[in-house]
Amino acid sequence: MVEMDEMRGVSLSDADGPNFGGYSRREIIDFLYREAQLADEHKYADWEGLWTDDGIYWVPVDGNDTDPTSSVSFIYDNRARLRTRIGMLLTGERHSQVPPSDLARVISNVLIHDQAPGEDIEVTAAFVLIEYRREHIIWAGRVKYLLRPTPDGLKIALKKIVLVDSYDAIRKLGFIL
Amino acid sequence: MTDVVDDLDARAPLPSIYDYTDLIREDRLDGRLYTDPIVHDDEFDRIWHRGWVYVAHTSEVAKPGDYAIRSMGRQPIIVSRDKAGDINVLLNRCPHRGNRVVNDQLGNSMNFRCAYHAWTFTNSGDLLGVPHPQGYGENFDRSKLGLAKVPRVEIYRGFIFASLSPTGISLDEHLGRSKHLIDRLCEVAPTGEIEVKSGSLKHRMRCNWKMIVENDTDGYHPPFVHSSLFKVSINPKRAARQAIPKPPPDPVVRDWGNGSGELDYTERKRESGPLGWLKRFPQAVVDDYLAKLTERVGAERAMDIALEGPPHATIFPNLFIALNNIAVVQPLEANLTVQWVTPVTFGGAPALDETIITQTQGGLGPAGLLFADDDEIAERNQLGLAAGNPRWLYLARGLGREELDESNGSVVSDSSDETSQRAFWRRYRSEMMDDSPAGVVPDAFEGGCL
Ligand code: FES
Ligand SMILES: [Fe+2]
C-alpha cells in the first residue's frame, strides 16, 4: 500500500535506500508488522521462532532507566523463561489467556538507528494495543528492539517495552506484548 | 500538631446494617462479603481506618529525608524519615485546603511544599511557613496547622505498622503469634535484617481484596490453577532418572491465631538442601552464606535457617510474606484491588539478590507465571459472586480433621484444607462486630472454627 506508507513518511524509494545490516527500512518495518500480527493472533510458536537464542524480552517498571539486575521488572525473560511462558500458553491451560484476549495493536513512529557494521540493528517505535477481555483495556508504550541479521533472516535479540503506566499498577499481562 | 482523628474521637459507635455473625458462619460465608459496597465501607471504618495496617519497611526510607507515599485504606499517607532518623507517618493532605502535598512515589527531602499556596512543612509534618502570613491576623497558630500525624506507629523488625485510631490494642496484641512469621523472614538474613530496595510490581485486579488474601495460603488450588506451569516445568529427563520417586513430605496449612495463616512446606523445603528453597546455588555461594549466618546464630541454627527459608504466610489484614517477597493488598472498591509485590533481599547476602529479583518477576506480579492466573480466577470469582443468591459459599473443608500442634500452638491441617481462610474470617468477624472506636483484642485462640 504505497499511499499508506507515504502517510507514514516512508516513501517507496526507501525500499532501495539505506541499508541496515543488509536490510532495507521497508523490510525492517515489515518484520515489525509481522511480529505484531503473530502476537495479536496468538501464534505463539511462530512468534517464538522470531527470537535469537540469547534474546531478552523485557517490560520494566518505573520507566526506562531501571537496572534489571538490581530492580524488579514486570517481565525480564531470558530465552529459557520465555520458552516456559510460551509453553504455558501452548498448553491451553494458562487461565489468564483462556480464552485468549482479543488483541489489536498499532505500531508506528518507527526509527532505525545508526549501527556499526556487524552489530544488532536498533529500532525504536511507539505502540497502542487494545485488549478486549470482558472490557476494553488500553496498553501503550515505547518499544526498543535489537534486531540481528542471521542466515535465517532477522531475529529479535531484545524487545524492551516501556509502558506509559510503568510507574502504576497494571492489569494482568498473560498475552504477548 | 493537628490531631488527625479529632472528629473520629467523637464518632463511636460505628453502626452497621449488617450482623457479621450472620454473614460469617462456622462453615460458610455470605457472598455479599465480597461484593457489597456497604460491607466495603464498614471495612474502612473497622479495619483500614482503625486497626493496625502494614504501611512500609524502614529500609524503603533508609536515610534521613527519604520518603515514600502509600495509603491506609482510603487515606493517602507519607512515610518519611526525619533529620533525627525517626520514622513519621503523616496524612498526605495539606491542612490549608486539602491538596495532596507529596506526589512523587519515592524521594528525599527535608521539607515538603504544597504546590497550591506554598505552605511549607518539615518532613516530620511541622508547618514552617506560609506566604503572606499577615492575612491570617494575630492569632495564627502555626503549631496547630502541621500535616496531621497518623496517631499510632509501631515498628517491628523494620516492618512499619500504623493505626488511625489514637487508642486501641498494641501492635503486640494485634500480631500475637504472627510476630514469629516476621522473625522467620528476617532471620534468613545474615545480619538479621531484610532489605526492601528492589522496586515493586503493582497489580490491579477486578476482585475483592479478601479473595487475594485467602488465595495466598490456599493449598487446594495450585494443581488446577497453575497446571500450565507444572506441565511445562517438569523436566521429563530428570523425572525418568528418578525411577522410583520418593514422595516428598506433605505440606500443611496452619492457623496461627489473630487472623494469620500459613501454607507450611518446611519439610519439603528441607529436602532441597541449604538455600534450595530459592535455587540450587554453587557450593561456594552456600558456604559463604552459611559462614556469615553462623557468625550471628551459630552453625546448627544457621543450617536450619538455610534449609527452611522464610515462611509462606499472611498477617491480617494486608501483609503476605511469600518466601522472599512481601505482598500487600490495597483495597479500592468492593471489586477492585491493587496488590504490591516487593522482593525482599537479605542483609549480608548480596550474592542472592539477583536470583531473588529473577524469582519474583518470574512468578509474581501482573505478568507472573503464577499470579496472572490467580488474577484471572479471582476476577471470575467476583463475576460468579455477582449472583448474590444462593447466598452461601462453602468453607468447611477440613473442619473435621484439624489438630492442635502441641509443639507451637498452631492449628494444623492438610494443606488443601480451608484452615487458614477460617483463621482470617474469625479475626475479620471480631473486627467487624466491634463498634468501639478503639478496636478489640482478637478473640482468644480457639482453634480453626469460626
Ligand atoms: S492547599 Fe496547600 S497551601 Fe493551600
Ligand atoms: Fe496461586
**Structural domain boundaries of chain B?**
52-156, 179-432
Instruction: Provide the whole-model pTM.
Output: 0.93
Q: Which of A59, A96, A168 sits opposite B375 (nearest CB)?
A: A96
CA of B80 to the centre of ligand 1 (A): 20
Q: Which residues contact A75 (CB under 8 A, 6 or more apart)?
A: A57, A58, A59, A173, A177, B361, B367
Please indicate whether, in this complex, the C-beta atoms of A70 and B232 are within 8 angstroms of each other. no
In chain B, residues with a C-beta closer than 8 Å to the C-beta of A141 are none
CA dihedral A62, A119, A116, A110 (to 10 degrees): -50
Hey, what CATH topology would domain A2-163 get? Nuclear Transport Factor 2; Chain: A, (3.10.450)
B197 lines ligand 1 (CB under 6 A): no
Class of domain B179-432: alpha beta
| Nearest chain A alpha carbon to B356 | A72
Please indicate whether, in this complex, the C-beta atoms of A169 and B204 are within 8 angstroms of each other. yes
CB B265 within 8 A of CB B302: no
Residue nearest to atom 4 of ligand 1 (CA): B117
- Residue with the three cell numbers 508547618: B127
With bands split at pLDDT 50, 70 and 90, how would you rate the model's confidence at A17? low
B333 membership: H or E segment, kind and range: strand B325-333
**Structural domain boundaries of chain A?**
2-163
User: Tell me, what DSSP letter sits at residue A165?
Assistant: T
DSSP 3-state helix, strand, coil percentages of chain B (rounded to 5)? 35, 25, 40
- Among 3.40.50.720, 3.90.226.10, 2.40.50.140, 2.102.10.10, name the CATH number for the domain at B52-156: 2.102.10.10
CA dihedral B171, B174, B177, B179 (to 10 degrees): -40
Report the atom number in ligand 1 closest to the C-alpha of B119: 3
Residue nearest to atom 1 of ligand 1 (CA): B97
Q: Which residues contact A153 (CB under 8 A, 6 or more apart)?
A: none
Q: Which whole number is the average pLDDT over A143-167?
A: 97
pLDDT in tens, chain B (450 residues): 444 445 444 455 577 899 999 999 989 999 999 999 999 999 999 999 999 999 999 999 999 999 999 999 999 999 999 999 999 999 999 999 999 999 999 999 999 999 999 999 999 999 999 999 999 998 889 998 999 999 999 999 999 999 999 889 999 999 999 999 999 999 999 999 999 999 999 999 999 999 999 999 999 999 999 999 999 987 666 666 655 556 677 899 999 999 999 999 999 999 999 999 999 999 999 999 999 999 999 999 999 999 999 999 999 999 999 999 999 999 999 999 999 999 999 999 999 999 999 999 999 999 999 999 999 999 999 999 999 889 999 999 999 999 999 999 999 999 999 999 999 999 999 999 988 776 666 654 444 344
CA of B4 to the centre of ligand 1 (A): 17
Write the ipTM.
0.93
Q: How far apart are CA A154 and CA A162, in angstroms?
A: 22
- Picking from B80, B332, B32, B381, the residue whose alpha carbon sits closest to that of residue B214 is B381
